[in-house]
Amino acid sequence: MLKKLALAAIVTAASITSSFASDKINGAGASFPAPLYYDWAFNYKKDSENLVNYQSIGSGGGIKQIAKRVVDFGASDEALDTKKLAKDKLLQFPAVIGSIVVAFNVEGIADATLKLSNEVVADIFAGKITTWNDAAIAADNKGLDLPNQKIIVVHRSDGSGTTYNFTYYLTKSSKNWKENFGIGKAVDWAVGIGGKGNEGVASLVKQTPYSIGYIENAYKEKNNLSAAVLKTASGKWVAATEDNFKAAAKYATWTKEDHFHSVLALQAGDTSYPIVAATFILLPKEKPEMNKKILEFFEYAFKNGDESAKKLGYIPLPKETKDMIKEYWAANIK
């Protein structure tokens, strides 16, 4: 699988560096779903001989490029509201559900053993908690050998839907974060070093001892990183597992009228992982013929791509949601 993903990524990157061609579908945006889009594109090319190029540049870049019509479709982990969609004459639908994990690199502390309450996570990224053996961390981790080492925070350096969803979670978890930083694709970080894309953050966490960062779960799995145990909205400890991601995803509610706008963090339920998010596709309203080609790709992915999504740590959309999306396509793309 990783070999196939690497090949797909190489083919995609090589194609995008050349000029965009009219017989290809070109998309750009969120790094959150990029491993899955590469896999879907690889299999679509194999089965149909149609080429889909996707460039992982971050949600902010994807929104800008589709607004300027540089690419055929954009991708964003931040759902755009109806006002923004109308302004840029865009359509929007979800493609898959994923999860954001708090990854760390501390020697001697294994995956799914470090407990970090949601408020503690917010205080680490706000620069209030600066060492691994801080009393607030130690209180929830009796028996763990927490080092007296400075915490190296790693965050995104680019405009990011992953950051949007992560800061939404932090804002709901911490009054201090809400008042001083808030929600956004980019914020004024108090501490830390920046990495470009989920790829960049994962790489920095992997190579930096005593670091911590937020990444999509597929990048955690691909890089064999460790992730913290977090708290549900109801205060129960939950590890970053497929069952807990699914528990949160089942609470997702969608409507065609608001173009599937939603934020899924901190859903109800004692086993609902707290940072689950959908990722979205953006299409220009005025290009129905190209849009039909794009929808052929996503219809193929919805029909054939669920196993790929699961293997990479994503959550496929439920059949009911896929059917609603197809109704949305039929109503808006003619």
Band (pLDDT 50/70/90 cuts) for residue 6 is: very low
Report DSSP state, residue 318: P
Q: Which residues contact 143 (CB under 8 A, 6 or more apart)?
A: none
pLDDT at 13 over 90: no
pLDDT at 5 over 70: no
User: What is the distance between the terminal CA atoms of the chain, rounded to a whole angstrom?
Assistant: 37
| Domains in the chain: boundaries | 2-99+253-263+276-332, 100-249
Name the CATH code of domain 2-99+253-263+276-332 (choices 3.40.50.12140, 2.40.50.140, 3.40.190.10, 3.30.1490.20).
3.40.190.10
288-303: average pLDDT: 98
69-87 residue pLDDT tens: 999 999 999 999 999 999 9
pLDDT at 65 over 50: yes
pTM: 0.89
Ramachandran assignment for 127, one of left (phi > 0), alpha (psi -120 to 50 degrees), beta (any other): left
pLDDT at 334: 86
12-25: average pLDDT: 49
pLDDT at 209: 98
317-328 residue pLDDT tens: 999 999 999 999
Greater model confidence, 16 or 146: 146
pLDDT at 12: 44
In the predicted model, what is the mean pLDDT of the chain?
93
306-327: average pLDDT: 95
Task: Identify the architecture of domain 100-249 in CATH.
Answer: 3-Layer(aba) Sandwich (3.40)
In DSSP terms, 279 is beta-bridged to: 96
Residue 243: helix, strand or coil by DSSP? Answer: helix
17-41: average pLDDT: 82
Residue 3: helix, strand or coil by DSSP? Answer: helix
Q: Which two tokens stand for residue 76?
A: 């964003």
Q: Is 100-249 in the same CATH topology as 2-99+253-263+276-332?
A: yes
pLDDT at 23: 66
Percent of the chain with pLDDT over 70: 93
120-132 residue pLDDT tens: 999 999 999 999 9
